[in-house]
Amino acid sequence: MRVLGIETSCDETAAAVVRDGRIIESNVVASQADLHRRFGGVVPELASRKHIERLLPVIDDALEQAGVALRDLDAVAVTYGPGLVGALAVGVAAAKSLALSLDLPLIGVNHLEGHIYAAFLTAPDLPFPALALVVSGAHTDLVGMPDHGQYHVLGRTRDDAAGEAFDKIARAMGLGYPGGPEIDRLARVGDPRAVPLPAPMAFRRSSGRADDSLEFSFSGLKTAALRTLHAAAAGDGQFKANLAAGVQRVVVDVLVAKTMRAARSLGVKTVIVVGGVAANTLLRAEGARACAAAGYRLVVPPPPLCTDNAAMIAAAGYYRFSRGYRSDLGLGAYSDLPLEPTPNDSSP
Ligand code: KG4
Ligand code: ZN
């Protein structure tokens, strides 16, 4: 079964052709990072307009690179939330038109479910139960997954997402957008212990004992990093490298510690780490070390499948289709969308 995936939830215009939820025939991503860089973050109206310009050429590229025509498709899967509603609407409208004109099933996919299914492109037969850490520019969610399509959100961030904290701190440091990859690069030449920073929600403030909640909070770290930055001598390159290394260390420590705690409490076999921040070098290394020590299988997709792409949407769409889900042509676009249950779903 050949699924066309479409993703326009934020600032990447993406289309992909995936067979049977596991074979990537093409995966085209047109990033708008250059457009938004000078504003230091995504400007929603500009993102929507760029999606309108680029989506059809990107779909054409995806078909051409896969060596297929529209008539070779068996279904169209599209991200319909969560994300920027105007940006999502472009992908949803295109997917509905294709489904209607080609008489193909339409499958709405939750963006977070898409991120999780990047893991099944990497390891289609990973053993359940699994735990997924979805860590991106908008989310820091720990999700228990007893089987395909079953999700229990165990914890999430109370304020900033991990990627958002990286982006905001990087911006204040005068680094490029998006900030996560810049911090990753700069951290390599920094000393992670040189700048004192708070460990976010790793310890209970009252007792000093380990915090056993599965919630995250990164805004305190962000504030501390910004305060340290403003107090420091401007233009000190080594200080910036140390700060980047320190921020990365603190974020990765808390992500890994809480993921391991959740994995233990669920008794999982597999730990999945996905979303843009899963491209982070230190998170990948520390995740591998912790999972090896605890005996969990770790699945972290290669970086291009961690950041936003449409292959993950096509894969998630394939599995949704296999479970009997179809979306009707009333499919909307939603800035907020829970993993389950989802609106506009119908089972035949
Ligand atoms: O999943 P994604 O592409 O878009 C969202 O759904 O948000 O994630 C983007 C986030 C951005 O905050 C970006 O700074 C972060 O992922 N990111 C990284 C790295 N690559 C991307 N963060 C840390 N290290 C990286 N190498
Ligand atoms: Zn994403």
Query: Which stretches within 103-236 are classed as H helix?
Result: 111-122, 162-172, 179-187, 219-231
Ligand 1 pocket, mutate which of 250, 277, 284 (most atoms under 8 A from CB): 277
Higher pLDDT, 7 or 35: 7
Rounded percentage of the chain residues whose pLDDT exceeds 90:
86
Mean pLDDT, range 255-259, rounded to an integer = 97
Choose the weakest-confidence range: 84-93, 131-140, 217-226, 231-240: 231-240
Q: For ligand 1, atom 24, name the residue with the nearest CA.
A: 280
Amino acid at the residue 163: G
Ligand 1 pocket, mutate which of 10, 136, 169 (most atoms under 8 A from CB): 136
Contact 79 CB / ligand 1 (< 6 Å): no
The Cα angle at residue 8 between residues 342 and 166, in degrees rounded to 5? 95
Dist. CA 303 → ligand 1 center (Å) = 10
Tens-place pLDDT, residues 196-207: 998 876 655 555
Dist. CA 260 → ligand 2 center (Å) = 22
Q: What's the token pair of residue 180?
A: 């996560």
Q: How many CB atoms lie within 10 A of CB 60?
A: 13
Q: Does residue 86 sit in helix, strand or coil?
A: helix
Ligand 1 pocket, mutate which of 111, 306, 307 (most atoms under 8 A from CB): 307
Atom of ligand 1 nearest to the CA of 279: 26
Rounded percentage of the chain residues whose pLDDT exceeds 70:
93
CA 337/CA 321 separation, integer angstroms:
19
Mean pLDDT, range 197-220, rounded to an integer = 75
Q: What's the token pair of residue 101?
A: 């004109």
